[in-house]
Amino acid sequence: MIIVMKPQASKEAVQRVLATIEENHLEAHVSDGTVVTIIGVVGDKSVLMEKNIELYDGVDKIVEVTESYKLANKKFHPDASVVKVGNTTIGGDELVIMSGPCAVETEEQVMQTALAIKKSGAQILRGGAYKPRTSPYSFQGLETEGLKLMKQAKDETGLSIVCEVTSLNAIESAVKYVDMLQIGARNMQNFYLLKEAGKTGLPVLLKRGLSATIDEWLNAAEYIMAEGNPNVVLCERGIRTFETATRNTLDISAVPVIKAKSHLPIIVDPSHATGVRKYVQPLAQAAIACGADGLMIETHPNPETALSDGPQSLTFEQFDNLCNDLRPFAKLMNKHF
């Protein structure tokens, strides 16, 4: 932690800051400039967190030098993590494809989808049973009934399954059926939910919030991990910007940035990022080419009748072609599926 004093800060002001640092058994290093004085603080700065030193007379600002997340931080865990989900692993040399409908609607829809995506090479079936929708008048999901349909598809195909949870209630139901919990973008800073998901010990797919910085995202992962659950997989799904040509702006740079800052695996969801079916394939290729560990791609037996996010869903034929086109890119990155 670095404390930057104001140009006109008095000697007394500097002394008061130094005294506080010493009282907390930390070490201070003073750089006395012609214009400003800066004070480097060495030791466990968390003990200073509640001192609000930026309010002291003569203090201009505080600059944090180290990140507040520890368990998710590559500096302290340099080796890439591999997260096991059912029979699949994420973060190793498998390229993991999660696919399925935005919302679980019927048994037929889920079963058809599971069989189709399995045939094309996907390892994980996704399907929403609890849907966070902007308007209360949109379809809100089948809840437990939906989870059961997902489980049935898992039993018949051997695919692993991932479902979004939006409340403690939903977690309590989901743990009976799913291989992986998903925390959606809108709940990325629902810290209560993060902690409860952490406690289950199940792998958690943590989607990035629409306006979350990468640091906030890794701090959200830290909430899960601090409950003793290291099985976190990140999912970039687009951030909110001024551009309206796509539903969100896919922050593809998040892939190499996460690889530089964290040991956690990261996958990309081009379906939600763009909201437009025809952009899914080029962005899926881009995601693999820059090092993503997997993809989440929406599919539906009949996108025109999907109850949620139809416009971005692929038909089974489109999905099969996509998987075939993706394999050579995966191979160039030493991944396979």
285-314 residues near a copy of itself, rule: CB under 8 A? 285-291, 303-307, 310-311
CB nearer a copy of itself, residue 162 or residue 218:
218
187 binds a copy of itself (CB under 8 A): yes
Is 176 within 8 Å of 148 (Cβ atoms)?
Answer: no
Question: Taking CB under 8 A as the rule, does residue 213 contact a copy of itself?
Answer: yes
Judged by CB under 8 A, the chain residues 32 through 91 that form the site for a copy of itself are 32-36, 38, 40-43, 46, 49-52, 54-56, 63, 65-66, 68-69, 75
Restricting to residues 145-174, name those near a copy of itself by CB under 8 A.
166-170
Structure tokens that stand for 77 in this block: 């865990």
CA nearest to 208, candidates 233, 179, 241, 225: 233
- The overall longest dimension of the chain from CA atoms, in Å, is 76
Contact positions with a copy of itself (CB under 8 A) in 242-281:
242-246, 249-257, 260-261, 273-274, 277-279
Binding of a copy of itself by 175 (CB under 8 A): no
Closest by CA to 185, choosing from 129, 234, 223, is: 234
The amino acid at residue 321 is N
Return the residues of window 85-144 that contact a copy of itself according to CB under 8 A: 130, 132-140
243: left (phi over 0), alpha (psi -120 to 50) or beta: beta
Which long-range CB contacts under 8 A does 132-138 form with residues at least 24 apart? 132/164, 132/166, 132/184, 132/186, 132/187, 133/308, 138/308
319 touches a copy of itself (CB under 8 A)? no
Q: How far is the CB of 177 from a copy of itself (least distance, A)?
A: 19
Q: Decide: is 210 part of the binding site for a copy of itself (CB under 8 A).
A: yes
Q: Report the nearest approach of a copy of itself to the CB of residue 84 (Å).
A: 24
Site of tokens 């030193």: 53
CB 320 → a copy of itself: shortest distance, Å? 18
Helix (H) or strand (E) holding 120: helix 107-120
